Amino acid sequence: MSKILNVREKYLTVTGLFFITVGLMGIYFFVIKGLKPGLLQLDVFTVYSKYLETKNFAVIHNNQGDEYSVVCYCVGWLCIIFTEKKSFRNKQSLALIIFMIGYLLLHGLAVIYFMVSFLFILPLFFVNFKYGPFFSKH
- Res 91: pLDDT: 80
For the chain, what is the domain count? 1
Specify if 84 maps to a domain. yes
- Which one, of 60, 76, 61, lies nearest residue 24 by Cα? 76
> What pTM value is reported for the model?
0.80
- CB neighbours of 86 closer than 8 A, spacing ≥ 6? none
The single-letter code of the amino acid at 136 is S
Tell me if 137 is assigned to some domain: no
Residue 117, in any domain of the structure: yes
pLDDT of residue 45: 92
C-alpha to C-alpha distance for 52 and 61, rounded to whole angstroms: 13
- Domain membership of residue 116 as a residue range: 2-131
pLDDT of 24 reads 95
Could you tell me if residue 29 is inside a domain? yes
Question: Which residues does the chain have with pLDDT short of 70?
Answer: 1-5, 125-138
138 within a domain of the structure (yes/no) = no
* Residue 69 near residue 31, CB atoms below 8 Å: yes
Residue 136 domain-assigned (yes or no) = no
